[in-house]
């Protein structure tokens, strides 16, 4: 994702295998967080994944990063490691594509 000055302000790395898509990395410039940019990037990945035959998307994140964000987009928690890192959780989420 680029701004009007062609500077990179966000991006997403994902891949599909079998009928699943894995979101490996999502980044949005701090100034754009809360603007819908992250939601737009995830929607793009979901659309590309569906066009490749994927039926599901999964992601892992940390409790201090994006678990609430993904849950707002319809992702469900299916795994969690407590105290990873200490005081936080590592969380795995998935979503079935329509």
Query: So what's the pLDDT on residue 67?
Result: 74
Read off the pTM: 0.91
Adjacent-strand bridge partners of 51: none
What is the DSSP annotation of 39-82?
Answer: HHHHHHHHHHHHHTT--EEEEEEETTTTHHHHHHTT-EEEEEEE
Cα separation, 25 vs 22, whole angstroms? 9
Q: What is the pLDDT along the chain (98 residues), one digit of tens a residue?
A: 999 999 999 999 999 999 999 999 999 999 998 899 999 999 999 999 999 999 999 999 999 887 799 999 999 999 999 999 999 999 999 999 98
Cα separation, 47 vs 57, whole angstroms? 11
């Amino acid at each position: 994702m680029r701004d009007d000055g062609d500077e990179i302000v966000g991006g997403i790395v994902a891949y599909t295998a079998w009928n699943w898509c894995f979101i490996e990395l999502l980044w949005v410039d701090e100034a754009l967080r809360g603007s819908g940019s992250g939601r737009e990037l995830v929607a793009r990945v979901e659309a590309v994944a569906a066009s490749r035959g994927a039926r599901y998307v999964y992601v892992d994140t940390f409790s201090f990063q994006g678990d609430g964000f993904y849950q707002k987009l319809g992702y469900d928690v299916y795994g969690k490691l407590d105290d990873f890192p200490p005081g936080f959780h590592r969380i795995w989420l998935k979503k079935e594509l329509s």
